[in-house]
Amino acid sequence: MFRPTRSCSALPALLLTTLCSQADAEPPSPAPSHHGAANTHMKKMGFDTLVARFESAKRAAWQKPEAVLAALGDIKGKTLIDIGSGTGYFSFRAAAAGARVIAADVDPQFQHYIEQRLAKEPPSAPGSIVTRQLAYDSPGLAKGEADRALMVDVFHHIEGRDAYLRKLREGLKPDGQLLVVDFKKVPTPDGPPLEMRLEPKQIEQELAAA
């Protein structure tokens, strides 16, 4: 299971969860599944539109990347998988903080975007970035491969979250941590439609049951 250890209201929704060995959590109550719709909604925007949105100078005001990195703790020398890395908005920041980053995404266009950017802007040592193509149903980690996992505005996209989170738990080290940042179920200028968002309590329950 994942045990929530911290919440932060300064972000759209922030949960820092620490992996623990207990496995007797109460199953989460059923919730409507909109992750498939969320993926369709995102694809309709087109790649160039998504790049412009992800790399917008205005993003820092509401995404608060410094707060996200602070919530990850000391990541220097640690392996961090950025699930749904997109353009590498957080991957490059984490590498600059000294992490060995796995920039993981289901979309090969974003993987190519990061690889092109790496050719022009290689992170300074000791941080590093490698790209990894993901399937929709798996985080693609070997057992105990990562110290940290980061999901920013991604959780509501994941298909078959119960099985996915169990695979992710196995891919983290025994003291590994997962940081989830996603949109609250309230109207905001940015983000997915309200019906595709999840309540923080639902996210916590799903993590606890994994």
Tell me the sheet residues that pair with 181: 14, 152
| Domain count across the chain | 1
Q: 153 — alpha (psi -120 to 50), left (phi > 0) or beta?
A: left
Q: What is the pLDDT of residues 28-73, one digit of tens each?
A: 444 444 445 555 556 567 898 999 999 999 999 888 899 999 999 9
pLDDT attached to residue 204: 84
Is the pLDDT score of 197 beyond 70?
yes
**Its pTM surpasses 0.85:** no
* H-assigned helices in 11-64: 35-43, 47-54, 59-63
Residue 188, SS3 per DSSP: coil
Whether residue 20 has pLDDT greater than 60: no
pLDDT of residue 95: 95
Q: CB neighbours (10 Å) of residue 5?
A: 11
Type and span of the H or E element at 177: strand 172-181
Q: What is the mean pLDDT of the chain?
A: 83
Tokens of 100: 């060995």
Q: What H or E segment, with its residue span, contains residue 206? A: helix 200-209
Q: At residue 133, does pLDDT exceed 50?
A: yes
pLDDT confidence bin for 77, thresholds 50/70/90: very high
**Which one, of 60, 113, 122, lies nearest residue 88 by Cα?**
113
Phi-psi map region of 152: left, alpha, beta (phi>0 left; psi -120 to 50 alpha): beta
Rounded Cα–Cα distance for residues 40 and 191 (Å) = 14
Instruction: Show the tokens assigned to 115.
Output: 């690889």
pLDDT over threshold 80, residue 150: yes
**Residues 134-145: pLDDT tens digits?**
999 999 999 999
Rg (CA), the chain: 16
**More confident site: 28 or 164:** 164
Task: Output the domain CATH number for residue 44.
Answer: 3.40.50.150
Q: What is the arithmetic mean of pLDDT over 155-183?
A: 91
- Reference 154, options 97, 98, 58, 89; nearest CA is 89
Domain limits for position 122: 2-209
